[in-house]
Chains A and B, each alone.
Chain A
Amino acid sequence: MDATVKSHFISEQPKAPAKPLVLWRPTAKTGFVSWLTTVDHKKIGFLYGMFALFFFLVGGAEALLIRLQLMVPNNTVLTAAQYSTMFTMHGTTMIFLAVMPLGAAFFNFVMPLQIGARDVAFPRLNAFSLWTFVAGAIIVNIGWFLPDGAPNAGWFGYAPLTSRNYIPQHSVDFWVMGLQLLGVASIAAALNFIVTIINMRAPGMTMMRLPVFTWMTLITSFLIILSFPAITIALVELMMDRNFHTNFFEVSNGGMPILWQHLFWVFGHPEVYILILPAMGIVSEILPTFSRKPLFGYPIVVFSGAAIGFLGFAVWSHHMFTTGMGTVATAAFALATMAIAVPTGVKIFNWIGTIWGGHLQMRTPMMFALGFIWMFMIGGFSGIMHSAAPADAQQQDSYFVVAHFHYVLIGGSIFALLAGIHYWFPLIFGRKVSEFWGKLSFWVIFVGFNITFFPMHFLGLNGMPRRTFTYDGNMGWNSGNFIATIGALILGVGIAIYFAVMIYTYFKGEKVGRDPWDGRTLEWSLPNPPPEHNYAVIPTVHARDAFWYEKHHKEEIAKENAEHSKAEDEHGGIHMPHQSIYPLVASVGILIAAYATSGMDSNPEPGIHAKLATAIIGGVIMLVGVFLWSLEGADGYHLHLDKDGKPIEDSHAHH
């Protein structure tokens, strides 16, 4: 942890003029309080990453239990109820608590660096997003420790199974409330990224010079702000049904359960792209770096990303081909789904075009990135098979689908995220992972992954349905399941090696200097780990692959930077935002209120008054946090750098 803390601050923070005590601004740069009150996008990104990796391991453990239960027919490792909980939590955890926040970690850490900014547009809002995400994660998982149990109605929560009639326990309420908090956190973070990318670009960093990862961050953020409202409202409707006896999905009063599916997938399909577009962005950074040539067809890669995002809102019903939508609707969604394969294919062509004619350096990130292309291709092709609606009627909710989306989400998203960790590890921690161990973990993961999920295609075609806790031995599914479980164990070993290597490298890895990969984008121009203010001088961008250009036009850039540095000093120096405790306070208030309300229903029950009081206390804490947050204002202070680039003290400056 202290690698990022050890930024180049050596001086005491300037003292603020006298203020009411409640508007105290924390200034600690190290220690526990500094992490709780940080507004530094790098620290926040790091925290996102740590939470995400923790939940990645939790979700992985859940998956291993599922695979153990299915290893042999008629197995009894888990009961039916435990199995339901396990696959519900595996899906929810992996999507909302592992892959999304891991993407957010990179958005936070890397994106501002890539556009030459000193922070995101709203640093405190960024902290609020992080802590609200943590609150949501706690609520989703809190059922493990309570008699009601963890959520057990599937990550998709189809009505009316989620109604009080069928699941009276609060397990579903925790799921509903947790997902709403995660939605708030995601939307707040996405709004921040949108403003940051559009408004905080360094001079000369035009939109068509943005690194592709930043582009994908932008598109993903738009998908988040436009798709999360649909699920949030659906969850509100479900919550109203469960707690206030409304009729949104109440069959006996004319409610239509199919409505839930539409609202869920209007969110759910863009969500798939929310998971995969950041991965595509990461791969589009790694391939050019290790091929030592620019991305092939940059504009087309960007536009195809945007097209995927746009079309992603028009294909949701392909998750519902078996709901009896009628011929015309089915045909329309089938064709739209096929159409989305075109921009996806274009990206693959361009990645191959990127490595074509390059000098490929087979480093670990490159291995993962190439693995991504292979696995994503297989996942994409089985996706095309699903777009043929009549064929999908056989595949829907079978293990064929399980195979398909794990190829997209593990072979796709996770491979790219693991590649990204390797790629940016030297920048974040100043150390580099051993190539031998990195490649070993890659091969074990790659092999284990394929052994796990390739047989599932066959299981699905042989009629094995999803979400089944047991199966009989006479269905022809025994070998496939056995192989898949062996594969899952190999995959688990691979992940264990990966994590062990990361931890080892963090403490003992080889130290590297600036720009270890001969990078192309601006973040590599920084020392590692980057100082809190990121750039001593805001860079001026002259070309795509801005840092590559800098390295080949050193004199021009040095002259320019000197001028800009002088100009900025005359304007008062580097402006930095103050830390703040109130985003955390607001999130803690939300956590308390959410916990109390998700344990309530409108029927009088023992303890209802205590719960109500707790909810009100939580709400008040949140409101106080928000009010003081706005009262303390977006203050900051100024930094000057000495000739070695170290910050020297400056008097407090009002924003």
Chain B
Amino acid sequence: MSSHAASGTVDHHHDASTATGIPNKKLLMWAFLASDCMFFGTLISTHLIYRLHPPAGNPEPRVVFDVPLTSFSTFILLMSSLMMALAVNAIQKGNLRSMRFSLLTTAFFGAIFLGCQVWEFWHFVHEKHMTITNSILGTTFFTLTGTHGLHVLIGVIWLISMYFYSFTGRVGEKQAIDVESMGLYWHFVDIVWIVIFTAVYLLEYL
């Protein structure tokens, strides 16, 4: 059914082969993200519930957290979203070189974010003595931010794979939807981080 896309210009906002005009891959990604919302929703709820019922001996979050560093990594992640948007824009115009540059920058920013997170984890464990096993805060914090970090990691691998795949000559304007779906995922991971940053870090300073 989808074999005969119109030749010539590609309409990136309408796919004539589907009943709604929305490309299948885009719809799939949206539906998946709805599901992923519930995954993160469950983890964030777990964290917030235990925040309301901290057992004796739970570390004091303000003592543990390093907000300036996390603010920096948050900013980097936001910038990566900007680069992701540029990559999608580039491929929709058929500009492969520009897309590659933006993809690589996005992945690089993502890697910086991951680096910050690794450093933060190391710091919390060794300097602040909060581990995943010794307190509820450690348990919920590391599991929640770790799950998010895993999402970022998958995103970075996906970005880099797409970067290399683009040299095979099989990525062009017609495949822009593949980059766009990846972009949806990346923006989502970014937005989730904003929520986590607010609910886990900033909330402690209200």
Q: A627 vs B18: C-alpha distance in the bound complex, in angstroms? A: 26
Q: A194 vs B32: C-alpha distance in the bound complex, in angstroms? A: 10
Determine if B53 is an interface residue (Cβ-Cβ < 8 Å).
yes
Contact A200 B18 (CB under 8 A): yes
Interface centre among B49, B133, B161 (most CB of A within 10 A): B133
Contact A247 B42 (CB under 8 A): no
Determine if B198 is an interface residue (Cβ-Cβ < 8 Å).
no
Determine if B63 is an interface residue (Cβ-Cβ < 8 Å).
no
Contact A199 B24 (CB under 8 A): yes
Contact residues in B for A246 (Cβ distance below 8 Å): 132-133, 139, 143
Contact A240 B143 (CB under 8 A): yes
Contact residues in A for B43 (Cβ distance below 8 Å): 233
Q: A551 vs B121: C-alpha distance in the bound complex, in angstroms? A: 68
Determine if B203 is an interface residue (Cβ-Cβ < 8 Å).
no
Q: A97 vs B81: C-alpha distance in the bound complex, in angstroms? A: 41
Out of A118, A191, A636, which one reaches B35, CB within 8 Å? A191
Given A200-B19, A226-B34, does the pair A254, B54 have CB atoms closer than 8 Å? yes
Contact B27 A198 (CB under 8 A): yes
Contact residues in A for B20 (Cβ distance below 8 Å): 198-199
Contact A254 B27 (CB under 8 A): no
Out of B24, B57, B143, which one reaches A237, CB within 8 Å? B143
Determine if B39 is an interface residue (Cβ-Cβ < 8 Å).
yes
Out of A122, A255, A638, which one reaches B3, CB within 8 Å? A638
Determine if A263 is an interface residue (Cβ-Cβ < 8 Å).
yes
Contact A232 B28 (CB under 8 A): no
Determine if A33 is an interface residue (Cβ-Cβ < 8 Å).
no
Contact B28 A122 (CB under 8 A): yes
Interface residues on B, range: 35 or more
Out of A118, A198, A255, which one reaches B1, CB within 8 Å? A118
A-B contact pairs, 9 of them (CB 8 A): A121-B28, A122-B28, A191-B32, A192-B28, A195-B24, A195-B31, A199-B20, A225-B32, A575-B3
Contact B136 A229 (CB under 8 A): no
Contact B136 A255 (CB under 8 A): yes
Using CB atoms and an 8 Å cutoff, list the residues of chain B in contact with chain A. 1-4, 18-20, 22, 24, 27-28, 31-32, 34-36, 38-39, 41-43, 46, 49-50, 53-58, 132-136, 138-140, 143, 161, 170
Contact B19 A199 (CB under 8 A): yes
Out of B2, B34, B135, which one reaches A225, CB within 8 Å? B34
Q: A203 vs B17: C-alpha distance in the bound complex, in angstroms? A: 10
Determine if A175 is an interface residue (Cβ-Cβ < 8 Å).
no
Using CB atoms and an 8 Å cutoff, list the residues of chain A in contact with chain B. 118, 121-122, 187, 191-192, 194-195, 198-201, 203, 205, 225-230, 232-234, 236-237, 240, 244-248, 253-256, 259, 263, 266, 538, 571-572, 575, 627, 633, 636, 638, 653, 655
Q: A121 vs B27: C-alpha distance in the bound complex, in angstroms? A: 10
Q: A233 vs B35: C-alpha distance in the bound complex, in angstroms? A: 12
Q: Which partner residue on chain B sits nearest A575 by CB separation? A: B3
Contact B24 A121 (CB under 8 A): yes
Contact residues in B for A187 (Cβ distance below 8 Å): 35
Q: A205 vs B132: C-alpha distance in the bound complex, in angstroms? A: 53
Q: A237 vs B132: C-alpha distance in the bound complex, in angstroms? A: 12
Contact residues in A for B54 (Cβ distance below 8 Å): 254
> Which 8 pairs, one residue from A and one from B, show the smallest C-beta to C-beta distance?
A254-B55, A229-B38, A233-B42, A199-B18, A225-B35, A229-B39, A201-B19, A246-B139
CB of B19 to closest CB in A, whole Å: 4
Contact B4 A571 (CB under 8 A): yes
CB of B153 to closest CB in A, whole Å: 13
CB of A605 to closest CB in B, whole Å: 18
Contact residues in A for B50 (Cβ distance below 8 Å): 254, 256
Contact residues in B for A118 (Cβ distance below 8 Å): 1
Out of B46, B55, B139, which one reaches A233, CB within 8 Å? B46
Out of B31, B39, B170, which one reaches A194, CB within 8 Å? B31
CB of A317 to closest CB in B, whole Å: 14
7 further A-B pairs in the complex, CB-CB below 8 A; given A195-B28, A247-B135: A198-B19, A201-B19, A229-B36, A237-B143, A263-B46, A572-B3, A655-B3
CB of A492 to closest CB in B, whole Å: 38
Given A247-B136, A253-B136, A572-B4, does the pair A230, B34 have CB atoms closer than 8 Å? no
Q: Which partner residue on chain B sits nearest A571 by CB separation? A: B4
Interface centre among B43, B134, B136 (most CB of A within 10 A): B136
Contact B133 A228 (CB under 8 A): no
Contact A248 B42 (CB under 8 A): no
Contact residues in A for B49 (Cβ distance below 8 Å): 256, 259
CB of A574 to closest CB in B, whole Å: 9
Given A254-B136, A259-B46, A263-B42, does the pair A228, B19 have CB atoms closer than 8 Å? no
Q: A227 vs B139: C-alpha distance in the bound complex, in angstroms? A: 23
Contact A205 B56 (CB under 8 A): no
CB of B144 to closest CB in A, whole Å: 10
CB of A282 to closest CB in B, whole Å: 24
Q: A246 vs B134: C-alpha distance in the bound complex, in angstroms? A: 8
Q: A627 vs B28: C-alpha distance in the bound complex, in angstroms? A: 19
Q: Which partner residue on chain B sits nearest A240 by CB separation? A: B143
Q: A232 vs B42: C-alpha distance in the bound complex, in angstroms? A: 9
Contact A199 B22 (CB under 8 A): yes
Q: A229 vs B135: C-alpha distance in the bound complex, in angstroms? A: 25
Contact A248 B46 (CB under 8 A): yes
Contact B35 A228 (CB under 8 A): yes
CB of B171 to closest CB in A, whole Å: 12
Contact A230 B38 (CB under 8 A): yes
Q: A200 vs B28: C-alpha distance in the bound complex, in angstroms? A: 13
Q: A378 vs B57: C-alpha distance in the bound complex, in angstroms? A: 52
Contact residues in B for A191 (Cβ distance below 8 Å): 28, 31-32, 35
Interface centre among A247, A256, A571 (most CB of B within 10 A): A247
Contact B38 A256 (CB under 8 A): no
Q: A237 vs B3: C-alpha distance in the bound complex, in angstroms? A: 44
Contact residues in A for B1 (Cβ distance below 8 Å): 118, 200, 538, 575
Q: A263 vs B44: C-alpha distance in the bound complex, in angstroms? A: 12
Q: A571 vs B42: C-alpha distance in the bound complex, in angstroms? A: 48
Q: A96 vs B52: C-alpha distance in the bound complex, in angstroms? A: 34
Q: Which partner residue on chain B sits nearest A115 by CB separation? A: B19
Q: A612 vs B39: C-alpha distance in the bound complex, in angstroms? A: 27
Q: A198 vs B41: C-alpha distance in the bound complex, in angstroms? A: 26
Contact residues in A for B2 (Cβ distance below 8 Å): 575, 655
Q: A256 vs B55: C-alpha distance in the bound complex, in angstroms? A: 10
Contact residues in A for B161 (Cβ distance below 8 Å): 627
Q: A195 vs B24: C-alpha distance in the bound complex, in angstroms? A: 6
CB of B137 to closest CB in A, whole Å: 9
Contact A229 B139 (CB under 8 A): no
Contact residues in A for B27 (Cβ distance below 8 Å): 121, 194-195, 198-199
Q: A121 vs B133: C-alpha distance in the bound complex, in angstroms? A: 44
CB of B173 to closest CB in A, whole Å: 16
Q: A233 vs B147: C-alpha distance in the bound complex, in angstroms? A: 10
Contact A244 B132 (CB under 8 A): yes
CB of A14 to closest CB in B, whole Å: 14
Contact residues in A for B53 (Cβ distance below 8 Å): 254, 256
Q: Which partner residue on chain B sits nearest A205 by CB separation? A: B19
CB of A648 to closest CB in B, whole Å: 18
Q: A62 vs B55: C-alpha distance in the bound complex, in angstroms? A: 42
Contact residues in A for B138 (Cβ distance below 8 Å): 247
Contact residues in A for B36 (Cβ distance below 8 Å): 229
Contact B42 A230 (CB under 8 A): yes
Given A200-B18, A246-B139, A254-B58, does the pair A122, B24 have CB atoms closer than 8 Å? yes
Contact residues in B for A575 (Cβ distance below 8 Å): 1-3
Q: A194 vs B140: C-alpha distance in the bound complex, in angstroms? A: 32
Given A201-B19, A572-B4, A653-B3, does the pair A226, B56 have CB atoms closer than 8 Å? no
CB of A1 to closest CB in B, whole Å: 28
Q: Which partner residue on chain B sits nearest A227 by CB separation? A: B38
Contact residues in B for A571 (Cβ distance below 8 Å): 3-4
